[in-house]
Amino acid sequence: MNDIKEYIPFVGRAVIDDLGLLSDRLKGKVVQNINSTSVGGGVAEILNRMIPLLKQLGVDARWDVIKGGGDFFEVTKKFHNALHGTAAGLTARDFEIFMETSSRNIAQMDIYGDIVFVHDPQPIALVERNSGNKWVWRCHVDVSAPEKGVWDFLMRFIPRFDAAVFSAPAFSRQLSVRQFLIAPSIDPLSDKNRELPQEAITAVLRKYGIPEDKPIVTQISRFDRLKDPQGVIDAFLMVKKHIDCRLILAGGGASDDPEGMQVLEEVREKARKYEDIHVLLLPQNDLEVNALQRASTVIVQKSLREGFGLTVSEALWKGKPVVASNVGGIPLQITHKYSGLLCHSVEGAAFAIKQLLNSPEYARKLGANGREHVRNNFLLTRHLKEYLLLFLSLYHPEDICYL
Amino acid sequence: MTAAPFRFFTRFNLTELTGLKAADLDQLLQLLTEVPGACIYHHTHRFLQQHQYLSPEPPNDFAYWITQILGERELGERLASIDIVSFVRIRDLRNEIIRTIRDYLEEYPKAHARFSSPGEEFYFMKSVSFVLPTGYAAKDLREFRAILSRITFDSLYFHVFEARLRLENGSNDFSVWFESMGETKLAGAFTRLDPYTSTMEQLRGTMLKILDNQD
């Protein structure tokens, strides 16, 4: 567990002092976080980092987990896909299963928070227990184009919260409750983002047989069609006609995903005849991802859809110039031509990569701006500050609040 | 002249979503007339807060979207050039943005046909500000200079941008306090600064230099 003071070298003492100023205003309030799992998944990862830091700041933050069986979580997985706009085949029975488990949790869960912070759709029905305390629904999912049936179902609960939180503006819609934009964040002290000595970076390149003889273009992401790895190869081949360089496509977590394995095979097949394309199936190894990002000349995130795309912030934090699609939360992280280059097509990505490889000074400037942008807006300390403000906003409905 | 001590405040910002979006200039114009002033403030100051290390910082959100997404570069430039420092009320700034877009559409009617792709619409948001005392107070210019040199950007931002335009105090808080102390020349020098064209650190540096160089 990190000490909050360890973040001072990255953001300055004043930012940490400010967190103290805000948390002082929450003295006496209990913040009860509720989600569906204590291990695995992005939400548990965030809570595992946030709860201890909130406690260090003097906020009485606690964390409870709902109970559910395999059938419930199969249904909520379908919810997740349907919220992403994928046809999930939800049936009336699925909604019954959801409500049966929810009813048990509604009856059994100890609700004690002054503020009840419900994460994602799985525990959403608990809001039935709203008895005048403050309830917030934190949606971590891309709901820009959800399947209507599942969204309509969630809308039975959302208006009963005091506020909702989304990660990107495109996920918002007109609701009867206040809704806030709180982007996720990266942790500068984590294995994925901490500074690495050059020897560690070189060792990872050696391990995967990648020579350091030419510029390296990299995309780090799961092998998923929505990350468009085929499009990245097409863009790379356009660049390669003019500039000699290498491409790394690296990602993990595909082994338990049948479609992921199929996409990986297709990518390997396409890359087979080009010795400068390195397709790496990484185990869950944050240090290696960190090293590959730091070894890169340009980093690409050519997603077709993206929840938030924190790999962009990871790359920018390492001072790397980034070419990324203008989708999901990416435009929050990259302002075109200021902190990176946005693209809309394979051709656009190729053109942007060429620009950066041919203009190292411009690339360096974009990377440096990107790092500052992440320092100001996408580090864990900003995330903590906005959660504190969110909790305070529940007691202050006005646009300008004097604390 | 004796004046009350200058108390330094700071402010933090949370972004509230409205669920309102525009895909073309007509929809943008319509919503510009309807949204709360906090939205106009947010979209003319967001870049300034998020890119406080950059000079020149990117333009306001309206100019950025119209240039990058709709491809109307000239209108984008006209909106980016609006001299925000000359406005002391949000509603006047709102009217100027609306007038600029209307004039352009009259001049170039084909711009009505420009629209954004799904997902690239203009999403209206608003700033919720939380204002807190820092505990710092200055009784005279010497103390003021010492505190100014170490306050956070959020505090500087509050007294220079937020107090002037959002709280409609007419000028930045520092100038108002100098004026109350009879330091008219110093008040004028701070009022004449254009804080929209420098980074926060540069702005602080310029202010400290003015304080150091006064007779």
Q: What's the ipTM? A: 0.89
- Residue of B7, B8, B10, B12 to mutate, testing the A interface (most A Cβ within 10 Å of its Cβ): B12
Closest residue by Cα to residue A376 from A323, A321, A327, A335? A335
Bridge partner residues of B15 (DSSP): A181, B127
B170-185 pLDDT, tens digit each: 789 999 999 999 999 9
- Mean pLDDT over the full length of chain B: 91
Q: Nearest Cβ partner of B17 from A181, A344, A401?
A: A181
**B148 and B204 Cβ atoms separated by less than 8 Å:** yes
Length of chain B: 215
Whether chain A has a CB inside 8 Å of the CB on B116: the answer is no
d(CA A21, CA A389): 11
Give B56's pLDDT tier (boundaries 50, 70, 90): low
In terms of pLDDT, which residue wins out, A238 or B199? A238
Chain B residues in contact with A372 (beta carbon < 8 A): 53-54
Chain B residues in contact with A174 (beta carbon < 8 A): 18-20
| pLDDT score for B148 | 96
Q: Residue B139 pLDDT > 70, yes or no?
A: yes
- B200-203: list long-range contacts, CB under 8 Å, 24+ apart: B200/B52, B200/B153, B200/B156, B200/B157, B201/B53, B201/B153, B202/B55, B203/B156, B203/B160
Cβ distance of A401 and B127 shorter than 8 Å = no
Cβ distance of A369 and B53 shorter than 8 Å = yes
Give B52's pLDDT tier (boundaries 50, 70, 90): low
Give B131's pLDDT tier (boundaries 50, 70, 90): very high
| pLDDT score for A43 | 84
Can you tell me the mean pLDDT for B97-104? 98
Chain B residues in contact with A144 (beta carbon < 8 A): 119
Q: Nearest Cβ partner of B12 from A145, A174, A385?
A: A385
Chain B residues in contact with A172 (beta carbon < 8 A): 17-19, 123
| pLDDT score for B76 | 95
Cβ distance of B47 and A180 shorter than 8 Å = no
Cβ distance of B14 and A376 shorter than 8 Å = no
Q: Residue B189 pLDDT > 90, yes or no?
A: yes
Q: Nearest Cβ partner of B53 from A336, A376, A396?
A: A376
Cβ distance of B51 and A166 shorter than 8 Å = no
Q: Along chain A (403 residues), what's the average pLDDT of each consecutive run of 10 residues?
A: 92 90 95 89 84 96 95 91 85 97 97 97 97 95 90 97 94 93 94 96 97 97 90 98 97 63 93 96 89 98 87 97 92 92 96 98 96 93 96 95 91
d(CA B198, CA B214): 22
Q: Which residue of B has its CA nearest to A143?
A: B119
Q: How far is CA A156 from CA A71, A124, A138, A150, in A?
A: 22, 10, 16, 10
A277-282 vs A246-252, strand pairing mode: parallel
d(CA A332, CA A323): 14
Q: Residue B54 pLDDT > 70, yes or no?
A: no
Cβ distance of A338 and B58 shorter than 8 Å = yes
Query: Which helix (H) or strand (E) is A31 found in, with range?
Result: strand A30-35
Q: Which residue of A has its CA nearest to B47?
A: A335
A-B CB pairs within 8 A amount to 104
- Tell me which residues of chain A have a C-beta less than 8 Å from any C-beta of chain B: 14-15, 18, 21-22, 144-145, 166, 169-170, 172-175, 178-182, 326-328, 335-336, 338-339, 342, 344, 369, 372-373, 376-377, 385-386, 389-390, 392-393, 396, 399-403
Whether chain A has a CB inside 8 Å of the CB on B179: the answer is no
| pLDDT score for B58 | 63
| pLDDT score for B1 | 57
Q: Residue B57 pLDDT > 70, yes or no?
A: no
Whether chain A has a CB inside 8 Å of the CB on B19: the answer is yes
pTM over 0.80: yes
**A328 and A309 Cβ atoms separated by less than 8 Å:** yes
